[in-house]
Amino acid sequence: MRILKVVFLLCYLFHQFAGYANEPNEEFRAVWLTTFAGLDWPKTYNKEEQKRTLLEIIDTLEREHFNAILFQARSRGDTFYQSSFEPWARELTGRVGQDPGWDPLAFLIEHAHERGIEVHAWFNMYKVWGAMPIPYDIDPPHILALNPHWAQIYGNEWWLDPGQPGVHTHLIKVALDLIERYPVDGIHFDHIRYPGRDFDDVHTYRRFGGGTDLHDWRRDNITNFVREFYEYATVIRPDIKIGSAPMGVFRRVSGFYGSTAYFDYYQDVERWLSEGIHDYVVPQIYWNAAHNPRFDVVLDDWRRRAHGRHVYAGIGAFRPEILRELNRQISLTRSLDIPGHVFFRYSHLADQHRFNVRYFTRAETPRMEWVESRDKVFNGQFTDYSVHDTSYTIQRLPVHLQYAMRDNDRNRMKTEKTRLPQRFIIYRSDDFPIDTNDPDHLLAVLPATTDSFNDEMNNPASSDYHYLVSTLNAKEEIEYTHEGNTAEIYLNRIAQLLDREIILPFIADPGDPDSFHLTLFMPSGMSASVNITNEQTGENLTIIEGYLDAGFHTIPINQNPDVPYIRCIIRVGDRTTERILKRTQ
């Protein structure tokens, strides 16, 4: 018996030391911290007790070698932070919209960062309310009180309609406002989907579908949000990590016959990853390793769809059969080279005292080289470009402009882990050197993926033109340019910002069908003028002149409802941009 005990002890010690030796140095180790209905949140309205409990959670996760918290900051159209657009959450005080006297998200970020733990703001998207009465008479108003026609009840809960342009605009504004004002490490979207195939959006589809197949249109509605938010967010916060929690099975896997992310919830997740408009996903793989669909089979299917981005395993610790095999599921993720896992949810781990069998050593969150490189723009010399005059006539001058990096610059870019600029700017002039401060010389602003440009002029004023290729990056105030073998011309960022302005849809005010507004996003504070005219009559509708702060501006428009188009002209310094916009209801 004594020998048997020694053998058991040796086996136990071997298992412990083997686990210690096999732990990776980089691994995403996180929990979903659910605030809705107080599931992981203290069921008290005393703010000091709330703070104390949140500190205990942070300390526990640090002690147990977790390195990230997915904190439910937006639950059901209400928030656990001070939003510019949505009300405080009911769970804080017992009443939606009541100021709790502290900011839970800011508190969490401060204390988690002190302990080396990342905070990702968990942002529930389209599910915005439950069965309780809709809250009115609060400021900011709840989205259902402000725009009830944007939502409908599905399964006893209110869901926003992803096909409504106003829904898209609202969610973009709320999410950008969050990451701009809070130093969260990431934003994590949940319920970023339709509630089901039988969602009643027939009227929205008839109005905005444009003849597209219904299912493709629905997937595009979700993907358009993902793409647009990623593009805006990475300009505002180049360091931000952007991810989501899609449904557990993407399309099809062996042994599974239920609803899937792609076909039933309209989440085209592989497209998000392949396009590079998502940094990570945490599919909700809430099955065990013994029965179909097997945990490892589903996870391996996701691994094959990663396209160089991160896939973390979403593990359903709320299920007893999974709670019993947590160590096994961790081992399976590592065997598949999956760089992390997230557990749903915190209380299911803490209540079962399972933390002490989790992680033996600390680990850093996995590096995302593409995120790290967003702030590091390559400033090499684009010397290998040339101008070719083809078929010159006095009436027309077609020119083919080619530009590329030298091989040694391309190698340097790889070594330094920098990236290409976001834009190329092309100037043209019959004078040399080119005056880049003269807006008449600005020929084109092109994506950095472009390596050639065709310039065709009718009735050219000269047969001798000079070209310059410059780089543009939204983060830099001074831009590097190269012409021939010199690098002496600099650009002023204020004159370039119009290339990054965002004009969101021109929509009706739900309280007054004859009143409309336009939402303008300014990437930086600057003096500007905005002139809005009736496209048909030329009548001035709105004129704004002066300093506009960075962020969103709602511009009211006095517009005849029978006239569907407006012209919006924005000027900054000598630069002008002009858009014709169609009204949406």
CATH number of the domain enclosing 547: 2.60.40.1930
Average pLDDT along the chain: 78
Q: What are the residues whose beta carbons fall under 8 Å from the beta carbon of 323, sequence distance 6 or more?
A: 317, 348, 352, 354
- Is residue 475 in some structural domain? yes
In a domain, 3, yes or no: no
Q: What is the DSSP letter of 372?
A: H
Highest mean pLDDT among 10-24, 220-234, 417-431, 478-492: 220-234
352 and 457 share one domain = no
pTM: 0.69
Query: DSSP state, 364?
Result: B
- CATH code for the domain of 287: 3.20.20.80
Domain termination site, one of 464, 491, 518: 491
HSE (side-chain half, CA atoms, 13 Å) at 484: 7
Query: What's the confidence (pLDDT) of residue 536?
Result: 74
| pLDDT at residue 524, rounded to an integer | 56
Q: Assign 356 a pLDDT band (cuts: 50, 70, 90).
A: very low
For residue 7, tell me if it sits in a domain. no
Nearest to residue 173, comparing CAs of 518, 509, 552, 520?
Answer: 552
- Give the per-residue pLDDT at 425: 63
Predicted local distance difference test score (pLDDT) of residue 575:
58
Q: Please state, in angstroms and as integers, the Cα–Cα distance from residue 279 to each residue in 241, 245, 344, following that order.
A: 6, 12, 20
- Is residue 451 in a domain? yes
Same structural domain, 276 and 216: yes
Q: What CA–CA distance (Å, rounded) separates 400 from 350?
A: 65
Residue 414 lies in a domain: yes
CATH of the domain at 417: 2.60.40.10
Instruction: Give the structural domain span for 393.
Output: 376-491
Q: How far is CA 360 from CA 66, 321, 327, 332, 337, in A?
A: 11, 23, 12, 17, 19
Are the beta carbons of 86 and 124 closer than 8 angstroms? Answer: no
242, 159: one domain? yes
Q: Is the pLDDT of residue 481 over 50?
A: no
The reply to whether 346 and 434 lie within a common domain is: no
* Domain endpoint, select from 473, 491, 509: 491
Average pLDDT (35-50) is 95
**Do 280 and 360 fall into the same domain?**
yes
More confident residue, 500 or 285: 285
Please tell me whether residues 415 and 357 are part of one structural domain: no
pLDDT digits 0-9 by tens, 79-135: 999 999 999 999 999 999 999 999 999 999 999 998 889 999 999 999 999 988 899
Q: How far apart are CA 324 and CA 319, in angstroms?
A: 9
- Can you give the pLDDT at residue 470? 63
Q: What is the pLDDT of residues 404-463, one digit of tens each?
A: 444 555 555 555 545 455 556 666 777 777 776 665 676 665 655 555 566 655 555 554
The answer on 255 and 206 residing in a single domain is yes
**Of the candidates 439, 474, 491, which is a domain's last residue?**
491
**Does residue 6 sit within a domain?**
no
**pLDDT band of 531, cuts 50, 70, 90:** confident
Q: What is the mean pLDDT of residues 479-495?
A: 28
Other C-beta atoms lying within 10 Å of the C-beta of residue 571? 16
Does residue 179 lie in a domain region?
A: yes
Is 99 in the same domain as 60?
yes
Of the two residues 550 and 295, the one the predictor is more confident about is 295
Residue 487 and residue 544 in one domain = no
Domain count within the chain: 3
Claim to verify: residue 539 and residue 415 sit in the same structural domain: no
Q: Please tell me whether residues 462 and 546 are part of one structural domain.
A: no
Buried/exposed 42-72: b ≥16 CB within 10 Å, e otherwise = beeeeeeebbebbeebbeebbebbbbbbbbb
The answer to the question of residue 312 being in a domain is: yes
Q: Is 65 left (phi over 0), alpha (psi -120 to 50) or beta?
A: left
pLDDT at 392: 37
Nearest-angstrom CA–CA distance, 470 and 480:
7
Q: In this structure, are 175 and 318 located in the same domain? A: yes
Tell me the average pLDDT across 504-526.
Answer: 57
